Chain A
Amino acid sequence: MKQKQKWKLTTFLNKYKVWFIVIAALIVVCIPLALTTPGVEDFKSQVPTEFNQLEAKKESEVFKNGGIMSTYIATKQISSSSVERIAFLGIAGHVFHADGGVSQFFANSITWFPSLMDGTKITVLLTLFSVTTGIFLSIFLALGKMSKIKPISWFCRGYIFFFRGTPLLMQLYFIWFGIPLIIPALTISDRFLAAWIAFSLNGGAYCAEIIRAAIESIDKGQFEASKAVGLNYRQTMIKVIIPQTYRRLIPPLANEFIMVLKDAALTSIIALKDLSKVTSSIMSSTGEVTVFLLAMIIYLVITAIFSKCFVLLEKKFSLYD
Chain B
Amino acid sequence: MFMIKTEDLCKNFGELKVLKNCSLSVEQGEVVCLIGPSGAGKSTFLRSLNHLEKITSGKIWVEEVLLDDRIDSVNQIKMSAKERQKSLLEMGMVFQRFNLFPHLTVFENIMLAPMEVRKMKRAEAEVIVRNLLEKVGLSDKADTYPSKLSGGQQQRVAIARALAMQPKMMLFDEPTSALDPELVGEVLQVMKDLAEEGMTMIVVTHEMGFAKEVADRVVFMYEGTILEVDTPEVIFTNPTNERTKAFLNSVLNL
A residues whose Cβ falls under 8 Å from a Cβ of B: 219, 221-222, 224-225, 227-231, 235, 239-240, 243-244, 319-321
Contacts and interface: CB of A to CB of B under 8 A. Distances in A.
Given A230-B117, A235-B117, A239-B116, 14 more contacts: A221-B99, A224-B52, A225-B93, A225-B99, A225-B158, A228-B52, A228-B93, A228-B162, A229-B165, A231-B113, A235-B116, A240-B101, A244-B103, A320-B147
A42 to B, nearest CB: 63
Interface of B: 50-52, 85, 88-89, 91-93, 95, 97, 99-104, 112-113, 116-117, 145-147, 158, 161-162, 164-165
B95 A231 contact: no
A222 B95 contact: no
Contacts of A321: 102, 145, 147
Nearest to A238: B116
Contacts of B117: 229-231, 235
Nearest to B145: A320
24 contacts: A221-B97, A222-B101, A224-B52, A224-B95, A224-B99, A225-B99, A225-B158, A227-B52, A228-B52, A228-B92, A228-B93, A228-B95, A228-B162, A229-B113, A229-B161, A229-B162, A229-B164, A230-B85, A230-B113, A230-B117, A235-B117, A244-B101, A244-B103, A320-B146
Contacts, number: 64
Contacts of A230: 85, 88-89, 113, 117, 165
B67 to A, nearest CB: 14
B101 A225 contact: yes
Per DSSP, are chain B's interface residues mostly helix, strand or loop, or mixed? Answer: loop
In this complex, the member of A227, A230, A235, A240 whose beta carbon has the largest number of chain B beta carbons within 10 angstroms is A230
A319 B165 CA distance: 28
Contacts of B158: 225
A244 B102 CA distance: 8
A221 B51 CA distance: 14
| Nearest 9 interchain pairs by C-beta | A225-B99, A229-B113, A228-B93, A221-B99, A230-B117, A320-B145, A243-B103, A230-B89, A235-B116
B112 A229 contact: yes
A221 B93 CA distance: 12
Contact of B99 (A222, A239, A244, A320): A222
B106 to A, nearest CB: 11
A244 B104 CA distance: 10
B103 A320 contact: yes
Contacts of B52: 224, 227-228
B149 to A, nearest CB: 12
A219 B103 CA distance: 13
B89 A219 contact: no
A319 B145 CA distance: 9
A243 B145 CA distance: 14
A230 B113 CA distance: 7
Contacts of B88: 230
Contacts of B93: 224-225, 228
B49 to A, nearest CB: 11
Most chain B CB neighbours (cut-off 10 Å) among A224, A229, A240, A243: A229
Output the residue of A221, A228, A235, A319 with the most chain B CB within 10 A: A228
B32 to A, nearest CB: 19
B43 to A, nearest CB: 12
Contacts of A221: 95, 97, 99
Contacts of B145: 319-321
A207 to B, nearest CB: 21
A257 B18 CA distance: 48
Contacts of A225: 93, 95, 99-101, 158, 161
B120 to A, nearest CB: 12
A290 B52 CA distance: 65
A318 to B, nearest CB: 10
B162 to A, nearest CB: 7
Nearest to B85: A230
Nearest to A225: B99
B175 to A, nearest CB: 13
